[in-house]
Structure 1
């Protein structure tokens, strides 16, 4: 589906929630094992996605909704992702899923509550770069899709063994 309207973008972004929730039936051990040799685990990937959602929710979406300046700034991706993997070690599968659903839902609710004008408006982020809700959602589809493909491949390998 090529998302064109703001509503379609929101629905597509939301669709990842039910997909992640469907993975709850996997064994905890399957959530802890690397997706491939030398790769992150399913829980690592989910915490990585959730923490990016949390970051952009708190530093951009809330700010847009409240009419405040955005505080989102460029992050060192390697450091951010390393911290996400470390964080994943501190939560259970259910906590990781719950936190993902929480922040993804908050983004969706805030985005859906905006007028089309606010949804598409360009805001300066904390670094002075351009940020819009619309482009943020569009930019994260390939990211979600990349991880979904990794997860789907892994799930097929796990369920083939069982």
Structure 2
């Protein structure tokens, strides 16, 4: 059995901050380009809003953990409906306003994460296969990375 590497809150925060830098790097692109479909029918704007929806949702969970000391993770029962509503909401925003909002939301999530105790961070979540650490790594760090690669690949293949 290999050694299981556990990340600290600082390490996870550092990984999450990569998404903020990436969003900031998208700001020179035009609104038109940010609204062009890249992944099925989703545009870059849609992908950013999809991630922001999960950030908002998880920030609420972090506030519960900080306030009550209870690590509870409640996954939205219909992941597709949740993503669709996040995307629909963002389509009412200008793409660059959305980028700024997504950056602010991600920063807020990291600030809240840094208020969680290391013991809560490592404690197994009731009725779950996760700890907060493994959940964040799989559902946020790897999820951000997946969508970042998706956007980068699409930008490289576009003539802009």
Same fold per TM (> 0.5)?
yes
Q: Is the 2:90–2:98 Cα contact (8 Å) retained in structure 1?
A: yes
Q: Is the 2:8–2:118 Cα contact (8 Å) retained in structure 1?
A: no
Task: Note if 1:25 corresponds to 2:28.
Answer: yes
Task: Calculate the aligned-residue CA RMSD, in Å.
Answer: 2.2
How far did residue 44 of structure 1 move?
A: 0.3
Show CA shifts across 1:83-109 (max 9, x none). Answer: 122112111112211221122111211
Higher percent of residues as helix: 1
Q: Give the 3-state SS of the residue equivalent to 1:24 in structure 2.
A: coil
Aligned residue for 2:89?
A: 87
Distance in 1, matches of 2:73 and 2:8, equals 27
Q: Which has the bigger relative contact order, CA under 8 A and spacing at least 6? A: 2
Count of residue pairs brought into register by the alignment: 154
Aligned residue for 1:78?
A: 80
Query: 4+ residue runs of structure 1 moved beyond 2 angstroms?
Result: 2-6, 68-75, 121-124, 128-133
Task: Note if 1:61 corresponds to 2:62.
Answer: yes
Aligned residue for 1:148?
A: 148
How far did residue 26 of structure 1 move?
A: 0.4
Distance in 2, matches of 1:18 and 1:3, equals 24
Structure 2 residue ranges without an equivalent (≥5): none
Structure 1 residue ranges without an equivalent (≥5): none
Normalised to the residue count of structure 2, the TM-score between the two structures is: 0.84
How far did residue 131 of structure 1 move?
A: 5.5
Compared CA separation, residues 118 and 45, structure 1 to 2 (3 A):
same
Compared CA separation, residues 113 and 135, structure 1 to 2 (3 A):
same
Normalised to the residue count of structure 1, the TM-score between the two structures is: 0.83
Distance in 2, matches of 1:47 and 1:154, equals 17
Task: Note if 1:110 corresponds to 2:112.
Answer: yes
